[in-house]
Amino acid sequence: MQKPFIVGITGGSASGKTLFLERLLSSFEDGEVCLISQDNYYKPREMQPIDDHGVHNFDRPESIDFEEYAADIRKIQAGETVYREEYTFNNAAKKPKMLTFSSAPVVVVEGIFVLYYPELASLLDLKVFIDAKDHIKLKRRIIRDKVERGYDLDDVLYRYEQHVMPTYEKYIKPFMNDADLIVPNNHNFDKALEVIRTYLRVRTS
């Protein structure tokens, strides 16, 4: 079996990674690509860091089980299938599903810290950084966390100011220059998406 080509996609919270991924993945047939997201490797809530105001901070590197994440990527790289329970971000109304990750010609590794952890970054054949202006990211974060995750607006704004932005400046932005491609996503990413899509087609044909 041909060794999978592993693509890492990262960027600040609400930079547009999810939409970029959806568009990228939709251009491949079933079995051609496997997406394995950092979101499903958060440690249990009781193990999450707590800030000075007693609020759980999910936007810290220590929130993620990097060792297990990297281990599962290596298994997929070796042709194995990985099973993992979906992480639901404390949404009691959402029943977690059991997720299946099967090896494929293209493996996409996605999350805000995929370039931060050396053992994870070293597995990536192509590193893509999705970037956007701060006010655009804030708007997207409000929509996502309020609507999809059930947080109230004050909570979303507090987390953005106290957790998200400090983490971006310290643990995400410094690794932007390690990326092979930086995609500005203030308006759209159509041209960049087409370049990456074409490149992956060539590499896996």
CA distances (Å), origin 92, targets 72, 153, 156, 157: 27, 18, 18, 21
Q: Give the pLDDT of residue 1.
A: 62
Evaluate whether 106 touches 34 at the Cβ level (below 8 Å): yes
The first and second tokens of residue 23, run together, are 């568009």
Question: Closest Cα partner for 75 from 41, 102, 100?
Answer: 102
Residues 6+ apart with CB under 8 A from 134: 165
- Half-sphere exposure of residue 49: CA atoms within 13 angstroms, side-chain side: 15
Give whole-number Cα distances, 87 to 83, 127, 138, 169, in Å: 13, 24, 23, 25
Give the residues across from 110 on adjacent strands. 9, 37
107-156 pLDDT tens trace:
999 999 999 999 999 999 999 999 988 888 888 888 887 777 777 888 88
Model pLDDT, residue 18: 86
Segment 2-15, tens digit of pLDDT: 899 999 999 988 88
Question: E strands along the chain, which residues?
Answer: 5-11, 33-37, 82-85, 98-101, 106-110, 126-131, 181-184
Average pLDDT over residues 45-70: 92
Residue 92's domain spans which residues? 5-204
What is the number of structural domains in the chain? 1
Q: What CATH number does the domain containing 181 carry?
A: 3.40.50.300
Closest CA to 13 of 151, 173, 124, 149: 173
Place of tokens 């979906």: 86
pLDDT in tens, 150-196: 778 888 889 889 999 999 999 999 999 999 999 998 888 999 999 99
